[in-house]
Amino acid sequence: MKALLFALLVILIVSAWFIVSTKCDKIKVEKFSSEPDNGPVLLVVGSVHGNEPAGSVAATDVANLFRNGEINLKRGTIILVTEGNPCGLKMKVRGVPHRAILPTYDINRNFRQSNNIGYPGGGRCPISQQISQLADQSDVILDLHEAWGWVKENNGSMGSGIYYRYPGSEPIALAIQSAINAGIQDEDKKFIATENWSQINTALEAAPAVEGKPYILIETSGQNDIQPLEVRLQQMKKAIFATLQKMGMI
């Protein structure tokens, strides 16, 4: 009897895991191309961290503009990850909720194998794998995140910063910086742009599919709603449009 109950319990847990995984381990993606389809491919990754929603909201807004024909691409393709962590976003938590006790919890620590004990991700997170596949098809990667403070406060936060890496990323990063800062009055809240930042060797910037391609990380000051979502949303949209413009796509 006990063995039967135990077996039933195992079946129940495995089924629940399967159902939750089907829903939570699948990113939402929208793709738009010019007619004819020629030119560069831009990948915009919105909110792999569920407690950083502005990137997802911005990517969704931009996807709607393309779908409704309010903007069209002159050339190239834009791939928008509108929900980089669907269940994390709903629950407002950083990682993939049902993987909370596993090394595959934090999508942005799973883009490559690592023996670093601080970043145990082993490239096994299904969402990291889906995003890597999209990065593989792309020429430029824009990664949308939100931090808990302002980088200019020098307290360790990367907030209100644009961080770029690899050849070709600087002109895009500087264009994004001008576009966003045009809307900010307070000098202390203006975005910095820099290529001097330390690499996390399991984050998207270090993914084999990204390495060597222009990669730009945007960090608003946004976690815990330290600024209204609307402010961060506009900053993210400016980043996407400035990138499209700099790439000659709109």
232 touches Zn ion (CB under 5 A): no
Which of 76/159 has CB closer to Zn ion?
159
Cβ distance to Zn ion smaller for residue 145 or 237: 145
Compute the least distance from the CB of residue 148 to Zn ion, in Å: 10
Structure tokens at 46: 């919105």
Residue 220 Cβ, how far from Zn ion at the closest point, in Å? 10
| Number of CB atoms found within 10 A of residue 32's CB | 18
- Binding residue (CB under 5 A) for Zn ion from 46, 49, 205, 213: 49
Q: How far apart are CA 56 and CA 211, in angstroms?
A: 23
Nearer to Zn ion, 78 or 203 (CB): 203
Contact 110, 119 (CB under 8 A): no
- Does 112 contact Zn ion by CB under 5 A? no
Cis before 126? omega within 30: no
Cβ 108 to Zn ion, closest distance in Å?
A: 6
* Residue among 49 and 165 whose Cβ is closer to Zn ion: 49
Binders in 132-161 for Zn ion, by CB under 5 A: 145
Strands of the sheet containing 192-194, edge to edge, are 28-33, 77-83, 41-46, 140-147, 215-221, 161-165, 192-194
Q: Minimum distance from CB of 49 to Zn ion (Å)? A: 4
Quote the least distance from Cβ 23 to Zn ion, whole Å. 22
22-25 long-range CB contacts below 8 Å, 24 or more apart?
23/86, 23/87, 24/86, 24/87, 24/88, 24/96, 24/97, 24/98, 25/96, 25/126, 25/127
Q: Decide: is 213 part of the binding site for Zn ion (CB under 5 A).
A: no
Residue 217 or 242: which CB sits closer to Zn ion? 217
Binding site for Zn ion (CB under 5 A): 49, 52, 145
